[in-house]
Amino acid sequence: MANFFPRWSNFMPLKLAICAGAIAFGIALTIAVYGYGIPHAQPVGYQPGQPIPYSHEIHVNQLGMDCRYCHSFVEHGAHANVPSANVCFNCHGPNKVKSDSPLLAPLYDAMAIDQETGQSTGMEPKTLEWVRVHKIADYAYFNHSAHVNRGVSCQSCHGEVDEMKKVYQAEDLTMGWCLDCHRSPEKHLRPMEEVFNLDYDAEEWLAQNEIVDSEGLVGEKGQRLTSQEEFGKFLKVHWDVQPKESCATCHR
Ligand code: HEC
Ligand code: HEC
Ligand code: HEC
Ligand code: HEC
Ligand code: HEC
């Protein structure tokens, strides 16, 4: 009787095993590279130490300062800026607010001003080295002005900064998180003048400002809008907000 299986098939199990091993190795490598090898944003809750214990709770909540007083580029450019020491000096300079506070020593140091005498120390002024909190991987592109000028608030991405005594990362900043909102931005859209107001509440706002859907964009014609859901959908159509999902939007 002829040999039913050709001779080479004796090696079949071995070849299969090598093959399966190679595939498993490939998958493991892919996971390793994408999961660990590629840099990612820090996890939720990341809260590095800062050179000065600067508190948004004091300056925004208690003093009522606008984000743009310090983060002046946020409406105009891709990157928001962190203020330089002389912005703080508007209030904390010699003989001004808390100018003798030991917490402000690094500020005086950066400005090269002697905190006791208020005179120049003769040293070179230097930049205050604030530690970056929010940072997505370098291969992804983000743009602040594209968001804040389309009714997306700082709050949607940075949380309740106005209540933070020390800034932490409130959202995970992963690609899935970006895409979640790009698919349904209506959950987040608010009137342009409320983008910097972190106390904004859609229902309260709508109770005070009568917004009527006169064209029937989201429901019945002439209906008064009362919830974030209705208002967000309304603004999306009204402003023609259409966040893109193609890879080249964020990977260029
Ligand atoms: C008086 C100046 C001042 C004002 C006003 C201010 N900030 Fe800041 N902000 C800072 C400084 C200084 C830092 C850097 C130190 C830190 O992270 O606490 C910072 C950091 C941040 C960061 C983290 C930046 C990073 O490294 O990732 C966010 C987000 C932020 N601010 C949002 C806001 C928002 C939103 C408002 C308005 C509601 C606001 N800030 C108002 C001074 C200010
Ligand atoms: C518009 C004025 C103003 C600006 C600008 C300002 N601050 Fe203040 N800051 C204040 C006031 C008012 C207080 C509260 C003082 C008090 O508790 O009596 C304060 C308190 C502080 C305190 C607490 C001091 C202590 O000893 O309790 C720190 C630290 C501080 N600010 C840092 C900063 C830094 C850093 C900047 C710049 C990024 C800055 N401030 C910008 C007005 C300002
Ligand atoms: C749609 C989400 C989103 C909104 C809205 C948003 N940010 Fe950001 N912010 C980010 C992301 C993502 C980063 C990290 C960017 C990077 O790594 O390039 C960031 C970084 C920052 C930084 C650090 C400097 C920088 O640009 O990398 C500051 C300061 C900041 N944001 C302030 C604000 C303020 C103030 C507002 C509101 C006026 C705001 N952001 C609105 C997502 C947002
Ligand atoms: C809370 C909602 C929200 C989140 C979160 C968000 N986006 Fe957006 N994004 C928008 C909206 C709304 C627009 C404006 C779309 C328009 O103009 O029609 C936009 C626009 C953009 C644009 C401009 C695209 C263009 O048309 O040129 C870029 C780039 C972008 N987003 C990147 C990101 C990245 C990267 C992240 C995550 C780190 C992110 N976005 C997170 C809502 C969001
Ligand atoms: C709205 C913005 C946005 C769009 C659209 C987008 N990405 Fe991303 N992508 C990101 C951000 C932001 C990161 C980095 C997240 C971080 O820093 O942790 C990322 C990370 C990645 C990574 C690294 C692995 C990972 O999952 O973190 C790959 C691969 C990737 N993107 C591929 C794609 C492809 C393919 C597309 C098109 C189908 C696409 N992206 C569309 C924002 C986007």
Cα–Cα distance, 79 to 147 (Å, whole number): 11
pLDDT greater at residue 49 or residue 33: 49
pLDDT for residue 26 is more than 60: no
Nearest CA to ligand 2 atom 25: 101
Q: How far is the C-alpha of 218 from the C-alpha of 230, rounded, in Å?
A: 7
Tell me which ligand sits closest to the C-alpha of residue 30: 5
Q: Which atom of ligand 3 is nearest to the CA of 152?
A: 5
Whole-angstrom distance, CA of residue 71 vs CA of residue 79: 10
Q: Do residues 212 and 206 lie in contact, with contact meaning Cβ atoms separated by under 8 Å? A: no
Averaged pLDDT for residues 215-240: 94
Give the C-alpha separation, 67 to 132, whole Å: 17
- Choose one of 139, 172, 182 to mutate for the ligand 4 pocket test, by most ligand atoms within 8 angstroms of C-beta: 182
Question: Which residues' Cβ are closer than 6 Å to ligand 2?
Answer: 52-54, 58-59, 63, 70, 83, 87-88, 90-92, 97-98, 101, 103-104, 107
In this predicted model, what pLDDT tens digit does every residue of 165-196 receive, in sequence order? 999 999 999 999 999 999 999 999 999 999 99
Q: What is the pLDDT of residues 41-75, one digit of tens each?
A: 999 999 999 999 999 999 999 999 999 999 999 99
Residue 172 near residue 43, CB atoms below 8 Å: yes
Share of the chain above pLDDT 70, in %: 85
Residue 156 structure tokens = 């949607």
Tell me the percentage of the chain whose pLDDT exceeds 90.
81
Number of Cβ within 10 Å of residue 6's Cβ equals 8
- Tell how far the Cα of 179 is from the centroid of ligand 3, in angstroms: 16
- From ligand 5's centre to the CA of 178, what distance in Å? 9
User: Considering every ligand atom, which ligand is closest to the CA of 81?
Assistant: 3
**Token duo for residue 148:** 């804040």
Please choose, from the candidates 194, 177, 196, the residue with its C-alpha nearest in 3D space to the C-alpha of residue 228. Answer: 194
Confidence of residue 40 (pLDDT cuts 50, 70, 90): confident
Residue 77: CA count within 13 A, CB half-sphere: 7
| Tokens describing residue 153 | 């608030």
Per-residue pLDDT of 113-138, as tens digits, reads 999 999 999 999 999 999 999 999 99
Q: Which residues of 29-63 are buried (b: 16+ CB within 10 A; e: fewer)?
A: eeeeeeeeeeebbbeeeeeeeeebebbbeebbbee
Q: Judge whether residue 30 has pLDDT over 90.
A: no
pLDDT band of residue 29 (cuts 50, 70, 90) is: very low
Which tops the pLDDT comparison, 84 or 15?
Answer: 84
- Predicted pLDDT of residue 169: 98
Q: Which two tokens stand for residue 40?
A: 């990612």
Rounded to the nearest integer, the mean pLDDT of the chain is 90
**pLDDT for position 36:** 59
Rounded Cα distance between 157 and 178, Å, is 9
| Å from CA of 174 to ligand 5 middle | 8
Q: How far apart are the first and last CA of the chain?
A: 65
User: What pLDDT score was predicted for residue 219?
Assistant: 84
Q: For residues 163 and 10, which has the higher predicted lDDT (pLDDT)? A: 163
Q: Which ligand is nearest to the CA of 92?
A: 2
> What pLDDT is stored for residue 24 in this prediction?
54
